[in-house]
Structure 1
Amino acid sequence: MKSDKQETQYLDKKQALAKAENFCVYQERSQKEVRYKLVEWGIRGNELEEILSELIINNFLNEERFAKLYTSGKFHINKWGRIKIKQGLKLKGVPDKMIQKAIYSIDDDDYLQALRRLLEKKDQFLVEKNNIKRKYKLTSYLQGRGFERELIQEVLNIE
């Protein structure tokens, strides 16, 4: 009986390194993602650590670069706030210091402007007439996008 899932193909160290390099070239990756892939390919122990070291030395893998690009993409393309970006980076196994550095690389004026644009866009589609319920819905939406509650309240009170 054949399963729907493809059989796992185990690679030797040289093959795994080449495949990992291609994996990293295709898209910026975190160490955790690459480590997971290597284990999936049957690489463990010292070989795994040696491959990771080789990728770092040859600049295929750079956690700080990954954190900055991830942050930039999630902010500019997905319109995520700092809280959601921070959670995403934590899930990717990025160290806290690099997370802080990356999320605070977002320009404060751009951040505030993005928050206002999202607020205005969502506000146009709300049919709620009660002002308190309307503010609650806007706050919930923006918090879901990862923006800070205090900043949302500040912007809502101005408008």
Structure 2
Amino acid sequence: MENEQKSIQEVFAKMAALCSRSEQCSFDIQRKITAAGIDDEQATEMISKLKEEKFIDDERYARSYVSDKFKFNKWGKVKMRHYLKMKGLSDSLILNALEEIDQDKYRDVLIKTMKEKARAVKKKNKFEKMAQIIRFTQNRGFEPELIHRYLNDVAG
């Protein structure tokens, strides 16, 4: 029993240290705790304690994730929403995080991404070129209606 307590405390300390170094969500930490051999009930208690002590905050995680993926990876909202959903975050948390993106910057990143792709495409046919731009920007996670809104400005 004493070794089990020590093991639980060690895992808790490891998770707290991990959360201190980088933003983590409860889903990822739950998986890591379970992988360390801690049963579900104790894992749930550990997650609660980590949340209580502000090591884990899913809202903070979602905001940070969205900010980083937009700033560094130039991802669109569709792709970010998908990945956050896979982390088990609620729709309201995801929506709130996505709403923090400045709309003008978002549009500018989309247009810049489309222009860069348009320059890189070596198709003679305008429709093939447009199709490649559409596929590329959709893979980046931008909304089809926004892509089509600015497509003629870019592919023309």
State TM-score, norm by structure 1: 0.90
Matched residue type, 2:79: K
Return the match for 2:53 from 49, 53, 58: 58
Judge conservation of contact 2:34–2:40 (CA < 8 Å) in 1: no
Letter of the structure 1 residue corresponding to residue 31 of structure 2: Y
Indicate the SS of the match to 1:147. coil
AA aligned opposite 1:123: A
> How far apart, CA to CA, are the structure 1 residues paired with 2:9 and 2:127?
62
Q: Which consecutive residues of structure 2, in runs of 5 or more, have no partner in the other structure?
A: none
2:27 aligned with 1:32, yes or no? Answer: yes
Name the structure where helix makes up a greater proportion of residues.
2
Letter in 2 for 1:30: C
SS in 1 for 2:37: coil
| C-alpha deviation, 1:53, in angstroms | 1.0
Aligned mate of 2:13, from 4, 8, 18: 18
CA-CA distance at 1:63 after TM superposition: 0.3
Runs of 4+ in 1 over 4 A off after TM superposition: none
Q: Deviations over 1:9-50 (max 9, x none)?
A: x87221111011011112111100000000011111332122
- Superposed, 1:10-159 pairs within 5 Å as 12-159=7-154
For each residue in 1:94-137, what CA deviation from the matched residue of structure 2 results, as whole angstroms up to 9, or x when unmatched?
A: 11110011112111000000001101111111111111111111
Q: What's the CA shift string for 1:138-159, capped at 9, x where partnerless?
A: 0010000000111000001334
Asked whether the 8 Å contact 2:75–2:142 carries over to 1, the reply is yes
With normalisation by structure 2, the TM-score equals 0.92
Query: Within 1, Cα distance between the matches of 2:111 and 2:88?
Result: 31
Aligned residue type for 1:152: I
Between the aligned partners of 2:54 and 2:18, the Cα distance in structure 1 is 13
Q: How many residues align?
A: 150
Q: CA RMSD in A?
A: 1.3
Between the aligned partners of 2:153 and 2:47, the Cα distance in structure 1 is: 50
What stretches of structure 1 of length at least 5 have no aligned partner? Answer: 1-9
